[in-house]
């Protein structure tokens, strides 16, 4: 890849060691002749990434999710450095990044283009999600009745605590916790996983890339909550359908040259492959 000459930093100061690590990586960048700027705000301000070759996010996966929309719109690759816990998206560890950073800045990396979800809750009201779209009642304890259509064909009516619509990247997040499938990030699909369905035969469904999903609220006197990546909520009118598709935009995500998706999965999920006694 081309060397990185202009680099934007996004630093989550609430993560232990993140400011110190940022200072170390900025020193490496300056020694490599890289121009930089830094912010502690996320989601990042609109236009913050314009004109930059890459964005280095230092924090956890939540920090990276707060930058993903702007990075996809600006077509600026994200370098995720993990100062959080699990770190599926922030694939460079805090321990290894200082030694590898100069090599990375020189162009020794690859880029994954990750699918994103586009969700609309009414005219002029839509947002992008890298991981997932969650639909549930505004009151946590209430069951919802949700009717789902795929390309105008009725799928079914769910009685459940909610629905998770996940991208392949987000399949290791809330979707996995709710019993949904793991999906390779290169797969062009959407996963729909019901949360605590009241029919035992209700299971996750995988839809193809060009599907147009539409969700209607059939719960009396109920308003829905639509959460994008667990960070932003969209307003939904009483009678407004919710529409979900795969966006035309992709998030460019920087990976090390020897990146292996399944190696990351084995490590993060602690798969040993050993026999159980």
Please check whether residues 128 and 242 belong to one and the same domain.
yes
CB 246 within 8 A of CB 118: yes
Please check whether residues 264 and 243 belong to one and the same domain.
no
Summarised one tens digit per residue, pLDDT across range 170-206 is 999 999 999 999 999 999 999 999 999 999 899 999 9
Give the total number of structural domains in the chain: 2
Task: Pick left, alpha or beta for residue 93 (phi over 0 → left; psi -120 to 50 → alpha; otherwise beta).
Answer: beta
Rounded CA-CA distance 205/166 in Å is 10
Please check whether residues 92 and 128 belong to one and the same domain.
no
Reply yes or no on whether 118 is catalytic: no
What pTM was computed for the model? 0.93
275 within some domain: no
Query: What range does the domain containing 85 cover?
Result: 6-109+256-268
Summarised one tens digit per residue, pLDDT across range 217-262 is 999 888 999 999 999 999 888 789 999 999 999 999 999 888 889 8
Q: Which of 53, 61, 132, 161 is catalytic?
A: 61
Rounded CA-CA distance 210/249 in Å is 14
Please check whether residues 62 and 35 belong to one and the same domain.
yes
């Amino acid at each position: 890849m081309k060397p990185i000459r202009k680099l934007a930093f996004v630093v989550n100061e609430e993560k232990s060691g993140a400011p110190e690590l940022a200072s170390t990586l900025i020193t490496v960048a300056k020694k490599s002749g890289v121009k930089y700027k830094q912010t502690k705000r996320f989601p990042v301000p609109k236009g913050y990434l314009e004109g930059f070759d890459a964005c280095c996010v230092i924090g956890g996966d939540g920090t990276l999710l707060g930058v993903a929309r702007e990075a996809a719109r600006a077509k600026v690759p994200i370098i995720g450095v993990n100062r959080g816990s699990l770190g599926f998206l922030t694939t460079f560890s805090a321990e290894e990044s200082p030694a590898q950073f100069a090599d990375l800045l020189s162009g020794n990396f690859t880029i994954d283009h990750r699918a994103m979800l586009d969700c609309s809750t009414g005219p002029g009201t839509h947002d992008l999600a890298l991981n997932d779209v969650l639909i549930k009642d505004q009151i946590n304890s209430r069951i919802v009745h949700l009717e789902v259509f795929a390309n105008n064909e009725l799928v079914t009516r769910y009685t459940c605590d909610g629905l998770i619509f996940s991208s392949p990247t987000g399949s290791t997040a809330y979707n996995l916790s709710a019993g949904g499938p793991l999906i390779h990030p290169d797969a062009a699909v959407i996963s729909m996983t019901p949360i605590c369905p009241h029919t035992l035969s209700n299971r996750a469904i995988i839809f193809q890339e060009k599907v147009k999903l539409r969700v209607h609220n059939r719960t009396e006197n109920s308003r829905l909550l639509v959460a994008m990546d667990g960070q932003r909520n969209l307003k939904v009118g009483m009678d407004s359908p919710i529409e979900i598709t795969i966006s035309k935009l992709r998030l460019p995500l920087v990976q090390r040259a020897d990146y292996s998706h399944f190696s990351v999965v084995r490590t993060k999920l602690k798969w040993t492959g050993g026999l159980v006694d």
